[in-house]
Structure 1
Amino acid sequence: MRHVGVALAGLLGLADSVNSKLVETQNGMSVQGGTCETTDVNYFFSIPYAKPPLAERRYEPPEPYHVPPYGKVINGTNSPPACIQFGTGFAESGPQSEDCLYLNVWTPASTTSDSNLPVKVWLYGGGNQGGGISNPSYDGCYSAEDSIVVSINYRLGPLGFLALSDLGLSGNYAILDQLLGMQWVQENIKSFGGDPNKVLLFGESAGAADTFVLATRPEAPKLMKAAAMESGGGRDFATVAAAQTFQQSFFDQLNCSTPDLACARAASPSVLQAAHLVVAVEDATGVASALNFNGSRSAWSPLVDGVVIPEQPSTVGLQVPSILGSNAVEGALFVLAAYGEKAASLTQADYDTFLTYNFGPLAPLVNETFSLSKVFNGSVAAAVTTVVTDASYKCAAHRGLLRAAEKGVPVWSYRFSHGPSCAWFANIPSPYVSTLGATHTSEIPFVFNMTRNMPPPDGNCTFSEAEVGLSRAMSRAWTNMAEFGVPEPDDDGDSWPLWTADESMGVVLNDDVEVGEVDYETCAFWNKINDDLNKIEAVGQ
């Protein structure tokens, strides 16, 4: 990220304006920030919202951070480490630590504590195994010019989701991290110029799935005005009982006697990472793990535990106005990651392996309905791309929309169909940008209003004029959700109509914003497959 830090020396008192870059929070903490290099926005990094989840706090709900009696000035000019990373495909390359429960805040430089600006709170993706708020692609310097942006670090992999009944562990520590981060926003964001009554929670991929969990909880209306889920809202999750086989396999790799919680807490992060690599699905079937359809085979994710997640969020339904959408070719990124140049030479046997892993006994039905020869002209890459796109993202969003509409909760749908002209993550090879198109994660720079120096932080590619306009429109709609609870407050729904099951209207985000039907035609099939898989899993518990 491009930022200019401000030294602590010589600061003798607190100021009333965020413009001073020294803010005192409601809980008595003082945070010294800096100014973005390219925009008139201040940032405040590495703000602790929970005690370090170390030793006896590992595998426990987070405890709120308490400021020492003598007060404390946080140096908010340095990015925090990512939480311990698991897996390879989504891992952050920078520093990581188990002491990671921090959040970042960006504010317009002119903001005062009385500005009452809308607040957008970000949950990153990464399969709940990787990711972090210091990733330059999540820089709030460009999207906080008319609002407050907050991003929350949360625990990942087994540190965020280990659930073993024999040890009395029910998982979902990451979800509790996120809830505590949202509570911190409610208690402290006014000090940064934000309005706690105008909060949007938004996330992408696993961050969208987690957003869906939080937005279906009964206290959601007290924590947020609205939610936005990019490529991940509406999913079902495994139960704790169904996840025991995988979880026990992981625990066995630690060479602990069972039950021995002290041993699990003493294992070093490197031992935990090695154990994960042994048991997680990161082999030649790699793309299959993107689906997470059969919950008992999922690596790390929220679990229906009867407490934090009492029942399937898709059954409960969203509790706040929400945006749910997906990208036109979500699966293309996973095909590239899993198969690379081999994608063009995949065979029916590879397709069968992919389907069997994801759909078990239902694989023949999927193979018949989405026949390689009849539907995809023999292209395994095209078939896998479509199955991942529809089954895991498009139709999950459709289920979330359906349930919300049934409950009378306002929801809006989108389909992101624009292939960016620049790479949006540094690890995406430039030659593949045009091939990937509107794939998984490709909407992120538009929501964050990033149009220059692509890929962040120091790339040499610039978005086109049309892309700049699309970016402004999307960023503005997300801000409107925070402020007004609707994406377009002044147009009576003409530019982004409310979604209904009868008409399925929404917006298609391509070179510009087009109002029209958002196609969910294949979702009757995929929603039936999802329900049948849930029944099969329940019988197997």
Structure 2
Amino acid sequence: MLFVMATSTLSRCIIFMSFLAVGSCKTTSVLQTTSGPMQGSIHSYNGSDVYQFIGIPYAAPPVRELRFMKPVPPTAWNSTFTAERFPPSCMQYLFENDRWLIPKESQNISEDCLYMNIYVPRATSSAEPKAVMIWIHGGGFTAGQGSIFDASYIALRGDVIVVTFNYRLGLFGFLSTEDTNARGNYGIWDQVAAIKWVSENIANFGGDNSKVCIFGESAGGNSVGLHTIIQENRGRIHRAISESGAVYSPRAVAEQSQTVARRAAEMLNCSTRSTKDIVECLRTVPAGDLLKVQGAASALSNQSGESFVNHMGPVVDGDLIIDHPVEILKNRSSEGFKFFQTLDILAGTNIAEGGLMYWPLMKYQHQYHYNISEGVPAGVLCDVVATAAAEEYAVSTRGLIKDAVCKQYTVRDGSLAEQGRSTVDVYADLQFFIPTVQTLDAHYTPEKVGRSFQYIFTHQPSFTWIRERPPWLIGANHAGELPFVFGLDAMYPPTHEKPRAERKLSESIMTYWTNFAKTGTPNGDPSLPIWPDYEPTTSAYMNLSLDLGSGVHLFSDRVHFWTRVVPDITSTVIEGQTDCACTIALGLFVSIYVAFATGFVMWL
């Protein structure tokens, strides 16, 4: 056995566990890592043991001269490191609505935050190493922490090792001057470092470093997508699960990063004569001051106000991300595409991802004379949402695309509620659903070098992150699948009832996810429906609901619009066959980032 249990008062443990489903009374044996020896703790979940190693440093604290630098290995230690305490969260604003999920220690924020947590189920034999799943949290690249996700339940359910970790966020993780003074992507480099640490050390925890699956949600899902084309990961990751995020997502790559850096410098009275001056000054300002200006520095507006474009996150730096991800995948001879093709990929979205627009659309109620609890009128769709969607495209095409979006998503003779659902679907499609389809289409090859799978999560959870959810917003909102991936006991409030039907769905999803991590296919459990491979000709998918079942050609009309109609418009205008006199509406659109930054959304 890999672990030797040590306990002082076993009888007290048994008494304690008779009252609670979770107990912790033991420590693991000492393990060796490249950083030094360490020891974790043993926790019992309904009678099954999980070995937890909490707060393992995988990189040196990125402070002082290491701010805005790639991560470096942590200083090695000789005495046994006790891995039992959650680390602080990386620099961010913690929202009151989230605190019940965040361990007490992680409710502190610090630049010294590059730590990971490892969850190992039961006793592990070195002769039978376990598959490994590495979780990348979401949060719009400005918020989130690994410690919010107790991976014990999914580790036990699938008999896999699960790793969670923190990475630098906001300006600390993604400040870029778009040159050698600050290339950016420090948060993604942190993720690469965490993956590397796992690859080099997980065998000592009973893991198989030839069966590593990365998975993540939202910004974490976008990160997963980026890692599938990053050469540094070759040989270290073998499968990938993207939940509500994709390498094709507009939010996977940020724009105008140098402008954001310059604005931050101006707000902190730093010289902006050169990018070198900007970086040298920002490297010395107190962390709290840098955090304070982050939101304002990145809130760039355009003719219609804030759009769907991301201004804080990964960038094309010519080093880690050598070209725009879409261009890499279009070039099938590129090294990035060749690596991408070798991986097994499972990706999907939730049916009501557009619920993220609920708060931004509130501000138009007076102007357009509607009550958002009843729905959203077509005027808001056409004047506000379609305009914002069109601004992702060249100026010469925006007028035609705006009109096309308006026509496509207007519900003829429908109710205000139906129009509301269709309106928020614009955001869902543009940011989540269509990029997922494009990623799966790009991944597929007839030879099936790497296998592809798609899902749609449609069940409306009995617990929702949206307070005062309107009745017209039906189905799973953004992040709604997370309690079902990690277990209801891990992510539902302790006092919230956990219906048996939802527990069964969660168990099914955990089984699908962990089977995929182990074998490259979610199938293997005879009690679950067969999940068909994704191919562009059939677009097969699994509907994750209380009534599991597969289907084909998910939302085919919306896929056709974004992958055929819109490209036809852009190519026609570019070729000069259409004279587009584009008039951009001046209605102010509040971006989803602003909704997140003000604390309305948990994971973006």
Q: TM-score range by the shorter chain?
A: 0.7 to 0.9
Shift of 1:437: 2.7
* Structure 1, unaligned runs of 5 or more: 9-18, 293-297, 537-541
- Provide Cα deviations, 1:157-209, integer angstroms capped at 9, x if missing partner: 11111110366211111111111100111111111111111111000000000
Question: Is residue 332 from structure 1 mapped to residue 373 from structure 2 by the alignment?
Answer: no
Shift of 1:349: 5.9
Question: Is residue 472 from structure 1 mapped to residue 481 from structure 2 by the alignment?
Answer: no
Shift of 1:230: 0.3
Deviates more, 1:505-514 or 1:196-205: 505-514
Instruction: State which of 357, 361, 372 in structure 1 corresponds to 2:388.
Output: 357
Shift of 1:142: 0.8
Deviates more, 1:521-530 or 1:114-123: 521-530
**1:471 is paired with a residue of what secondary structure?**
helix
Q: Distance in 1 between matches of 2:265 and 2:445?
A: 41
Q: Distance in 1 between matches of 2:165 and 2:474?
A: 29
Partner in structure 2 of residue 12 of structure 1? none
Partner in structure 2 of residue 302 of structure 1? 314
Partner in structure 1 of residue 443 of structure 2? 404
Counterpart contact for 1:81–1:134, Cα < 8 Å? no
Partner in structure 1 of residue 458 of structure 2? 417
Q: In structure 1, give the amino acid aligned to 2:492.
A: P
Q: Distance in 2 between matches of 1:287 and 1:214?
A: 32
Taking a change above 3 Å as real, the CA distance of residues 490 and 88 of structure 1, as seen in their structure-2 partners, is closer
**2:80 is paired with a residue of what secondary structure?**
strand
Q: Residues 202-221 of structure 1 correspond to what in structure 2 (within 5 A)? A: 202-221=215-234
Shift of 1:332: 1.3
Counterpart contact for 2:352–2:477, Cα < 8 Å? yes
Instruction: State which of 91, 95, 109 in structure 2 corresponds to 1:96.
Output: 109
Counterpart contact for 1:23–1:192, Cα < 8 Å? no
Instruction: State which of 191, 194, 207 in structure 2 corresponds to 1:178.
Output: 191
Shift of 1:225: 1.9
Partner in structure 1 of residue 477 of structure 2? 439
Deviates more, 1:57-66 or 1:337-346: 337-346
Instruction: State which of 369, 372, 386 in structure 2 corresponds to 1:343.
Output: 372
Instruction: State which of 258, 262, 265 in structure 2 corresponds to 1:251.
Output: 265
Compute the RMSD of aligned alpha carbons.
3.5
Q: In structure 1, give the amino acid aligned to 2:312.
A: W
Question: Is residue 156 from structure 1 mapped to residue 169 from structure 2 by the alignment?
Answer: yes
Q: Distance in 2 between matches of 1:375 and 1:177?
A: 51
Instruction: State which of 61, 64, 67 in structure 1 corresponds to 2:70.
Output: 61
Deviates more, 1:473-482 or 1:312-321: 312-321
Q: In structure 1, give the amino acid aligned to 2:192.
A: L
Partner in structure 1 of residue 152 of structure 2? 141
Partner in structure 1 of residue 288 of structure 2? 270
Q: Residues 119-138 of structure 1 correspond to what in structure 2 (within 5 A)? A: 119-135=132-148, 138=149
Q: Distance in 1 between matches of 2:286 and 2:249?
A: 32
Q: Distance in 2 between matches of 1:253 and 1:531?
A: 43
Taking a change above 3 Å as real, the CA distance of residues 42 and 413 of structure 1, as seen in their structure-2 partners, is same
Q: Distance in 1 between matches of 2:181 and 2:188?
A: 17
- Provide Cα deviations, 1:355-396, integer angstroms capped at 9, x if missing partner: 333422526234433354638645564243211211111101
Larger Rg: 2
Counterpart contact for 1:51–1:65, Cα < 8 Å? yes
Taking a change above 3 Å as real, the CA distance of residues 43 and 6 of structure 1, as seen in their structure-2 partners, is farther
Taking a change above 3 Å as real, the CA distance of residues 474 and 371 of structure 1, as seen in their structure-2 partners, is closer
* Structure 2, unaligned runs of 5 or more: 9-25, 330-336, 366-370, 574-604
Question: Is residue 188 from structure 1 mapped to residue 198 from structure 2 by the alignment?
Answer: no
Counterpart contact for 2:62–2:111, Cα < 8 Å? yes
Shift of 1:270: 1.9
Taking a change above 3 Å as real, the CA distance of residues 244 and 356 of structure 1, as seen in their structure-2 partners, is farther
Q: In structure 2, give the amino acid aligned to 1:403.
A: A
Q: In structure 2, give the amino acid aligned to 1:131.
A: G
Question: Is residue 312 from structure 1 mapped to residue 315 from structure 2 by the alignment?
Answer: no
**2:259 is paired with a residue of what secondary structure?**
helix
Deviates more, 1:435-444 or 1:143-152: 435-444
Shift of 1:512: 3.0
Counterpart contact for 1:234–1:398, Cα < 8 Å? no
Length-normalised TM-score, structure 1: 0.83
Question: Is residue 488 from structure 1 mapped to residue 517 from structure 2 by the alignment?
Answer: no
Shift of 1:410: 1.5
Q: Residues 521-532 of structure 1 correspond to what in structure 2 (within 5 A)? A: 521=556, 522-527=558-563, 529=566
Aligned length, in residue pairs: 505
**2:147 is paired with a residue of what secondary structure?**
coil
Instruction: State which of 78, 81, 88 in structure 1 corresponds to 2:85.
Output: 78
Partner in structure 1 of residue 240 of structure 2? 227
**2:431 is paired with a residue of what secondary structure?**
helix
Question: Is residue 513 from structure 1 mapped to residue 548 from structure 2 by the alignment?
Answer: yes
Length-normalised TM-score, structure 2: 0.75
Counterpart contact for 2:377–2:420, Cα < 8 Å? no
Counterpart contact for 1:32–1:73, Cα < 8 Å? yes
Partner in structure 2 of residue 384 of structure 1? 423
Counterpart contact for 2:135–2:214, Cα < 8 Å? yes
Counterpart contact for 1:236–1:313, Cα < 8 Å? no
Shift of 1:28: 4.7
Taking a change above 3 Å as real, the CA distance of residues 288 and 195 of structure 1, as seen in their structure-2 partners, is farther
